[in-house]
Amino acid sequence: MTTFSEIATLLEGQAIEVPSWAYGNSGTRFNVFGTAGTPRTVEEKLADAATVHRFTGLAPLVSLHIPWDLVDDFAALRRYAEDLGVALGTINSNTFQDDDYRLGALTHTDAKIRQKAIDHHFECIDVMHATGSRDLKIWLAEGTNYPGQGDLRGRQDRLAESLRTIYDRLADDQRLVLEYKFFEPAFYHTDVPDWGTSYAHVAALGERAFVCLDTGHHAPGTNIEFIVAQLLRLGKLGSFDFNSRFYADDDLIVGAADPFQLFRILFEVIRGGGYGPDSQVAFMLDQCHNIEAKIPGQIRSVLNVQEMTARALLVDSSALAEAQESGDVLLANEILMDAFYTDVRADLAAWREERGLPANPMRAYLESGYQQQIEADRIGGTQAGWN
Amino acid sequence: MTTFSEIATLLEGQAIEVPSWAYGNSGTRFNVFGTAGTPRTVEEKLADAATVHRFTGLAPLVSLHIPWDLVDDFAALRRYAEDLGVALGTINSNTFQDDDYRLGALTHTDAKIRQKAIDHHFECIDVMHATGSRDLKIWLAEGTNYPGQGDLRGRQDRLAESLRTIYDRLADDQRLVLEYKFFEPAFYHTDVPDWGTSYAHVAALGERAFVCLDTGHHAPGTNIEFIVAQLLRLGKLGSFDFNSRFYADDDLIVGAADPFQLFRILFEVIRGGGYGPDSQVAFMLDQCHNIEAKIPGQIRSVLNVQEMTARALLVDSSALAEAQESGDVLLANEILMDAFYTDVRADLAAWREERGLPANPMRAYLESGYQQQIEADRIGGTQAGWN
Amino acid sequence: MTTFSEIATLLEGQAIEVPSWAYGNSGTRFNVFGTAGTPRTVEEKLADAATVHRFTGLAPLVSLHIPWDLVDDFAALRRYAEDLGVALGTINSNTFQDDDYRLGALTHTDAKIRQKAIDHHFECIDVMHATGSRDLKIWLAEGTNYPGQGDLRGRQDRLAESLRTIYDRLADDQRLVLEYKFFEPAFYHTDVPDWGTSYAHVAALGERAFVCLDTGHHAPGTNIEFIVAQLLRLGKLGSFDFNSRFYADDDLIVGAADPFQLFRILFEVIRGGGYGPDSQVAFMLDQCHNIEAKIPGQIRSVLNVQEMTARALLVDSSALAEAQESGDVLLANEILMDAFYTDVRADLAAWREERGLPANPMRAYLESGYQQQIEADRIGGTQAGWN
Amino acid sequence: MTTFSEIATLLEGQAIEVPSWAYGNSGTRFNVFGTAGTPRTVEEKLADAATVHRFTGLAPLVSLHIPWDLVDDFAALRRYAEDLGVALGTINSNTFQDDDYRLGALTHTDAKIRQKAIDHHFECIDVMHATGSRDLKIWLAEGTNYPGQGDLRGRQDRLAESLRTIYDRLADDQRLVLEYKFFEPAFYHTDVPDWGTSYAHVAALGERAFVCLDTGHHAPGTNIEFIVAQLLRLGKLGSFDFNSRFYADDDLIVGAADPFQLFRILFEVIRGGGYGPDSQVAFMLDQCHNIEAKIPGQIRSVLNVQEMTARALLVDSSALAEAQESGDVLLANEILMDAFYTDVRADLAAWREERGLPANPMRAYLESGYQQQIEADRIGGTQAGWN
């Protein structure tokens, strides 16, 4: 069995990207509950994100969403973030909130609307130049609600053409990351419903196009770690959107619904070379804190990823390989479970303290007074949300 | 094989209840697209609903939702509806949009919040007295998002107590109908997730408490017609919320996703005595027209129910029973399918004309100018939606 | 936080019932792989089951399946078991392997076949008298494959009548336990597909009729611990069939697919009064060891239940209740997770040694030579399986 | 609206491949029910298959399964089939019933077992040369049951190597068709679980490697017609395994569970160029007639495909395209549904008579005396099944 001290250094440098929108209000189609202290501006979102990083050391990057996070001067925003100790990360486009996109954006039958959606991505690329972001992430919220509504095949062809145009606009050090999603907001078909579709498109685009795997975007029962292993094997795993789910795209805190699944995913990430200093995989959160406190929700999330990463690193790989080779089903399973069942929390607390971080980031945050401060300060204005 | 003429009279009197909110805007958590002509007031919703009835003869009742449809004078509203040729139907309560209800309403740990939710239902009962509505429908949007968040058992006990208090307030000719839902807006557990839970509660309440079956509120793969048969057998099927789904609670047009399922459901309704003049079952729509035209969407919906009812009535019951008795699997299946595959549309068109209705209600509506009129008239104000 | 020493005595007396058929061969419809050492007789199955108990102290009861375990003298079998240190437990009936039952048994349209199935249950009750078993467990493998094949309603009525006849035959200290299953071997509908149906039947039967909850018999996404809580609340949880699943009724080792789910289930068992000396709930395994070693597979299973029971007992109930009352979502969740993430394995090893059991039952078994002995001894004959 | 006469000639030449194993016994893991008249030999299976073709004109090809259909002289078998009026079609390999394959075949860690599995495919290719079959179909029944049991990544690499070796053995006019399956008989992961994995492998292999789409092998809710459209777009749809399902891989009669889904699939086949004389797509059945009569079950199946093909051909494509272009959601849906709801059965009956086929193949078969004859003739011997 591997010991914690053997993996301690491997935990250094772990970087989880937090989404700016996790600090704003979110909800379901039925209601959005507002909360005291919610940011009104991008700067306040960044301040909250930086707070998560300050207490955990795990979240040095912040994803932005355009147009939710549009500012006049992204270079200034970049400096603002850096002053807070964080950097700006992935840029997320949005083609689902404009009336023109009711029936599609990059796949729309109307060339003018397609061009509008493409132009929006050009704008995002401009933002990337200013922020120094590497990745343009495209979540295609389009699809159809009724059989016959759209031409499934024609939409694919238009999508391929639109993506090509966007891809060709990228600089050499920029990447396009294409997210797939099983359903929602479209209910009959989505234009990129599965990893296979995303893979087929990014494989056609070129070597700087990758797949984004959102852990909540699969059919019930899907073995997600298999997809992780497959995409790493194919060299096309670009990024994760971490969250967890019991039913649909619930966007709960990563690791909350099925901790063992998160463990298996991270084990395959490590197994397939996706973890560590040479990895090109971005590890983002994409969550909604509808009813729970947002900053603590993010702290819990990055800690969950860290704890499960530690457990996954603890797997005795050579013993496991030996058991697998010998066909000892129960022993191989036991070796994996041994690591999962190991309680790493005390070791991680010590590890943090050695690095100048609070042993218990959650308690430290709650006692810091930050929450009380923002609740006092952030009076008036319009709380940030999905708009 | 049964012929259409044999069932023609059985189609008379079919009444589908349409929801006031189907005429307002709706959407997903990502966006709500507005549309020209959307009602701003309850009266305008009723006008649209009455239009659906005028063209189809199928929709003489309109469900209201409180507080979305709150007016000062419900007696006046009732007369307004009657003048339009429709009646007010089921009253739907709402305990999911007030900040107090973030963690529960009828199940909340705080007795004051529970009382507030109970009082809201008392208010609904008052409305029922004014509108002449028979049914109080309770959809319990409550539940929890994270394991541990709530005490599953304690919530059930509080729910039972709250329901008892509401039930006892009903007049002798009023009913309580309890809807169940697999998930959403809660993502870890819902307090009434399945028909079994709803049945256990309404069985405990008394003979005027029933289950509401929303066709979109089940786990993937659930055999809904079995539940219909079972609830009719137990004497506890109170009402339907019709819609259709491919994935979750998509709230698409009834019959759009799986016409054969709708056929099987209606067949079990008829088989179990739930159809016809003596039936106590309410047949409601509960749908969202997020991207399609709303009034035509409702027309399509009631026509779908009528067409499938006709097909289900066409099943040769005695031949079917004989094949079932003899164990001829393929013949029994074929007898059922014969009815499903029968094209009843021409017969229904003639049936309508005989009764002074347009042969093709959809075309008649589109050519009537009503849509153009409301788009011209309903300028300004706030379009109705889920608030 | 509760400590292990505070719960140590609560772990005493935990009894898990193992199924005789887990020691025989099993497989999928595609193949059954045989393994060396598989029992040929009921007595050999009992010897293997007793071995599991000897190494774990957790499995003092063995479920039998009729006719797979039919012997001429059940009184003698009972003494044989007792000499091995185990007792005979639940009696399981079988109405799915006789040609007569192709289209149904207790629900069949033919009264003669129904009576045959009822008589089989009478025979099982006779066995119970001889074995001293408390529970007659009925898993209804019946249903239909094609819409129209059977009369859903008529089958329910016949089922109710058949169950009544069987129930009335039970002695005062015997119970009827009705298992439900979502699908398989029937593919369109099963006659007892969900807990609601089982509950409706056993509630009608009387106070000695209960529901059996097989953890693998639910639709995707079903919240099983909710059903546990509900059935305990209704006083109708009779027994568990433990196993785990990723997709359908995979019958994998309990806790293997989703350890956190097993934890939540056991937490609700404890919360609802289903655990401990006064509980009337039977905790059985119902698993298939298709590709892994069978006796070690059973040892792993009972250990998984024990480990998760320990974790569930560790939950600080009063702190949890306080967090729930105060609406602190993240704290309540954290209190639950604290227990789940606690590594109880070393404490349990010490606990076992104090009680004269091997610290590591799995290693002790593997080193005991038992497996080598049965592989040497059990040559010739017909290996036991599902027939 | 397109009329039947406009599409009549397009229905000519439709060829559905029937599987030899559909005529033998099958069942679930719980039981296989035998039936009178079941073939004992490959020749008798072919006779039954030829009977299906004789009454329907739709089933001129028969798939074989090796080793279930192994004979000494495949050239003679080919002549035998041709004399019956049918040809031998796809050759299906089997790597799931030998004890060596318990933990894998083409992916096994042991090179000797991998080679054995490869050699089996070489043997299948030899059969293909004798039978004149074009397609070697590989359904990979392998995977793992427990996390950790196997190395997901290593298994993919070994699979790729094994497939390469097999592919290189094919003649220039032979194809490899790789089937994917979500789960079963493996329960934690399957090595080719989805179309994306199959596509990635066949794309790497070369232009004579294709994907086989079994309609029952997907996660709940999967939009299968989207995959059809995508694979046709990518030029990689090799063949269908038709059947239908409510839950898992139920292998029910195609079109029985969801006729509208079959319609949508066939519509996309036509839309994407997969139907007609130039198509390279093989349309096979892969079904189990566990409880219903087998030959009538196959007749019903091919008729279902024919009827739905006719309906799909009836879609007014230009009107549909226009409605799609204009964004008229309801009209586009209505145009599709118009074709689906059209009752083509009388037209098809006339179409058959014009071509010398019985108007009602099912009745003609039932009255032909064939069933009585085989029940009388096929006494003794061992009925064919999955072994």
Give the pLDDT band of residue D387 (cuts 50, 70, 90).
Answer: confident
Q: Please state, in angstroms and rounded to a whole number, the distance separating the CA atoms of residues B44 and B380.
A: 13
- Omega prior to A67 cis, within 30 of 0: yes
Dihedral sign (CA D101, D106, D112, D118): positive
First-to-last CA distance in chain C? 49
* Whether the predicted pLDDT of B147 surpasses 90: yes
Distances (CA, A) of C121 to C100, C105, C140, C166: 15, 11, 12, 7
Peptide bond into B296 cis (omega under 30): no
Query: Residue B1 — pLDDT band, cuts 50, 70, 90?
Result: confident
Neighbours of chain A (3+ CB pairs under 8 A): B, C, D
Structure-token match 């923002």, residue found: A374
Say whether pLDDT at A204 is over 90: yes
Q: Give the tokens for residue B232.
A: 């009719």
Record: contact A233-D330, CB cut-off 8 A = no
Which residues, in sequence order, are bridge partners of residue C144? Answer: C189
Q: What is the pLDDT of residue C48?
A: 98
- With CA atoms as reference, the chain C residue closest to B145 would be C329
**What does the pLDDT look like over B325-358, one tens digit per residue?**
999 999 999 999 999 999 999 999 999 999 999 9
pLDDT at A1: 74
Distance from CA of C177 to the nearest CA of D (A): 21
pLDDT of residue B249: 96
Distance CA D22, CA D46 (A): 11
User: What value does the CA radius of gyration of chain B take, rounded to a whole number of Å?
Assistant: 21
Mean residue pLDDT of chain C comes to 97
pLDDT category at D309 given cuts 50, 70, 90 is very high
d(CA A256, CA A241): 15
Q: Does D279 touch chain A (CB under 8 A)?
A: no
Angle at which helix D294-313 crosses helix D259-271, to 10 degrees, equals: 50
pLDDT given for residue C1 in this prediction: 74
Calculate how close chain C gets to D187, using CA atoms only, in Å: 6
| Beta strand ranges found along chain D (DSSP E) | 17-19, 61-65, 87-92, 135-139, 143-144, 175-179, 189-190, 209-214, 237-242, 282-285
Mean pLDDT of all residues in A320-324:
98
Give chain D positions within 8 Å (CB) of A336.
147-148
Residue C387 has pLDDT above 90, yes or no: no
Question: In this model, does residue D204 exceed pLDDT 80?
Answer: yes
CB contact under 8 A, D258 and B256: no
Q: What is the pLDDT of residues C139-177, one digit of tens each?
A: 999 999 999 999 999 999 999 999 999 999 999 999 999
Identify the DSSP state of C91.
E
pLDDT tens-digit series, residues D121-147: 999 999 999 999 999 999 999 999 999
Judge contact between D291 and C185, C-beta under 8 A: no
**What CA–CA distance (Å, rounded) separates B179 from B138?**
6
Alpha-carbon gap, residue B210 to B231, rounded angstroms: 9
Neighbours of A77 (CB within 10 A): 21
Chain C residues near residue B188 by CB distance under 8 angstroms: 223
pLDDT at D1 (0 to 100): 74
What's the gap in Å between the CA of C190 and the closest CA on chain A? Answer: 21
Q: How far apart are CA B342 and CA B3, in angstroms?
A: 10
CA distance D84 to chain C (A): 30
- Dump pLDDT digits (tens) for A15-72: 999 999 999 999 999 999 999 999 999 999 999 999 999 999 999 999 999 999 999 9
Question: Average of pLDDT values for B32-43?
Answer: 95
| pTM reported for the whole predicted model | 0.98
Residue C192 CA to residue C177 CA, distance in Å, equals 12
Q: Express each pLDDT in D133-184 by its tens digit.
A: 999 999 999 999 999 999 999 999 999 999 999 999 999 999 999 999 999 9
CA distance D83 to chain C (A): 32
Structure tokens at A268: 């395959």
Q: Are residues C146 and D183, on separate chains, in Cβ contact within 8 Å?
A: no
* D68 DSSP 8-state letter: T
Q: Return the residue of A nearest to D147 by Cα.
A: A333
Chain center to CA of B368? 27
B52 touches chain D (CB under 8 A): no
Q: Which residue of B has its CA nearest to D307?
A: B341
Q: What are phi and psi of C278, to 5 degrees?
A: -90, -5
Cα gap A93→A138, rounded to integer Å:
6
pLDDT of residue B105 exceeding 90:
yes
Average pLDDT over chain B, rounded to whole? 97
Q: What are the structural domains of chain C?
A: 12-313 (3.20.20.150)
Percent of the residues in chain D that have a pLDDT greater than 70, as a whole number: 100
* Residue of chain D minimizing CA distance to C297: D146
Q: State the pairing for strand pair D237-242/D282-285.
A: parallel
- A324-328 long-range contacts, CB within 8 A, separation 24+: A324/D109, A324/D148, A324/D149, A324/D150, A324/D151, A324/D154, A325/D109, A327/D102, A327/D103, A327/D109
Which of C247, C258, C329 lies at the smallest CB-CB distance from A260?
Answer: C258
D72 — pLDDT class (breaks 50, 70, 90): very high
Res. B32: pLDDT tops 80 = yes
3-state secondary structure of A318: helix
Could D293 and B340 be called an inter-chain contact, meaning their C-beta atoms sit closer than 8 Å?
Answer: no
β-pair type (B61-65, B87-92): parallel
pLDDT at D215 over 90: yes
Which pLDDT does position C350 carry in this prediction?
Answer: 98
State residue D131 phi and psi, 5-degree precision.
-90, -15
Arithmetic mean of pLDDT, D105-109: 98
User: Any CB–CB contact under 8 A between A77 and chain B?
Assistant: no
**Angle (nearest 5°) at CA C17 between C13 and C22:** 145
Q: How confident is the model at residue D294 (pLDDT cuts 50, 70, 90)?
A: very high
pLDDT single digits (tens) B173-223: 999 999 999 999 999 999 999 999 999 999 999 999 999 999 999 999 999
Per-residue pLDDT, A387? 78
Whether pLDDT at B66 is above 80? yes
Q: Check the CA dihedral B343-B346-B351-B355 and report its sign.
A: positive
Residue C104 region, left (φ>0) first, then alpha (ψ -120 to 50), else beta?
Answer: left
State residue C40 phi and psi, 5-degree precision. Answer: -105, -20
D222 touches chain B (CB under 8 A): no
A134-154, pLDDT tens digit by residue?
999 999 999 999 999 999 999
